[in-house]
Structure 1
C-alpha cells in the first residue's frame, strides 16, 4: 500500500448510525459562521444603495422616454384633428375667414395655457 491510499482512508467514514447513507454527511454546528463584520455590512449596504439608485435612474429615464413618445403621439393626434376641423370649416366658409379664426384661436390658446 502506498502513502496516498493511507491518507484517503480517514476521509471515508463508517456507516451512518441512522442507516440513511444516501444523505450528505452532517457538518458541525457553527452559530457564528454566517456573521460578518460591521465594516463589511456597511460596505454591502452602500453598494446596494448605489445599485438601487442606478436602477431608479435607469427606470426614470426609460419612463421619461416613454412619456415623451406618448406625448408626441397625442400632439400629432390633436394636430390632425385640428387640421381636419379647419378643412371642414373651409368647405363651408371663405378661406380668409378660416385663417382669421385660426389666428384668433391661436392667440386665445397662448393666453390660456
Structure 2
C-alpha cells in the first residue's frame, strides 16, 4: 500500500453521468444548510449602514424629482391662468371701450394685491 499525504488541494469533482429522471438540463442541487448563509454581526452592521445611506440618497433624489415636477406644474397652471385672463379681457374689450377695460385690469390687480 502506498501512503499519500493530502495537501489542502481538493480532489476534482467526478462527473455524475446521466440522470435517471431525465433532468440533465437542471443544475445539480446542493445539500440544504440552514446556517450556511449566516454572516457575522460586523458584516450585518456594515450592510445596514450602507442600506440606510442608500435609502437616504434615494429619498433625497425622489424629493428633488418631486420638487421639479411641482415647479413644472405651478408654471403650467400660472401660464394657463394668465392665458384665460387674457382671453377674458379680450372678450370684454369687444363689448367695452379700451380705456375702461384697462381701468378694470388695474382695479383687479389692486384687489389681488390686497387679497393675497
TM-score norm. by structure 1 comes to 0.73
Residue in 1 aligned with 2:56? 53
The 3-state SS of whatever aligns with 1:111 is helix
CA displacement at 1:63 relative to structure 2: 1.3
Task: Work out the number of aligned pairs and report it.
Answer: 103
CA distance in 1, matches of 2:77, 2:96: 28
2:86 paired with 1:83: yes
Name the counterpart of 1:3: none
Partner of 2:3: none
Give 1:82 shift.
Answer: 0.4
Q: CA deviation at 1:30?
A: 4.3
Comparing 78-87 with 58-67, greater Cα deviation is found at 58-67
The alpha-carbon distance between structure 1 residues 40 and 86, as it changes in their structure 2 partners (threshold 3 A), is same
* Structure 1 gap segments, 5+ residues each: 1-6
Relative distance call for 1:87 and 1:42 in structure 2 (3 A) is: same
Q: 2:107 aligns to what SS in structure 1?
A: helix
Match of 2:14 in 1: 12
**Long gaps (5+) in structure 2:** 1-8
The Cα shift of 1:24 comes to 2.3
Question: Could you say what the CA RMSD is over the residues aligned between the two structures, in angstroms?
Answer: 2.9
Query: In the alignment, what sits opposite 1:24?
Result: 28
